[in-house]
Structures are given as structure tokens and as C-alpha cells.
Amino acid sequence: MYNELFVVSYSIISFVIHDIIQAINKMFKNLITWLIRNKMLIRMRKFKDLCGLLNVHGVINGTHVVIIKPSEPFAKD
């Protein structure tokens, strides 16, 4: 299945997003922190109530990208 706008497969998009997240974590490791479990659960419930999004406890730039897990893993060259 392909994204019709850019003609790029979803598995490639998933791979690129994974690399971007790794780079952000590396560059901003002193600024990014994880919430303690209780606060995370409260925030996740607020996102669900407000937007209907499940399992979200933070956002960057307000962007939501739906990623469907590929049925088979792909090889990294």
C-alpha cells in the first residue's frame, strides 16, 4: 500500500519517522523527559476525551501521523 500524495510506501515512512525520533532523542536528550506513570495516565485520558486519540501522552508540533504496522518486517540495507 502506498501513500498516494508522495508515492512512498508506508513502511518507508515508518522507517524515516523512526530515524527522526532517534535523532530528536539524541539531540535533545537533556530536554525530553518521560512522565511518571500516574501523570502519564491522566494525560492519556485527557487526549482521549479531547481528541479521541488512544495511547497519546505527548505531541510535537500538534501533528498526528497514523502508522499501520507492516505485516512483515523489512530488511535494513
Rounded Cα distance, 54 and 48, in Å: 5
Q: What is the pLDDT of residues 8-50, one digit of tens each?
A: 777 888 889 999 989 988 998 888 777 788 988 998 899 899 8
End-to-end CA gap in the chain:
21
- Can you give the residue ranges of every domain in the chain? 1-33, 34-68
The pTM for the full model equals 0.41
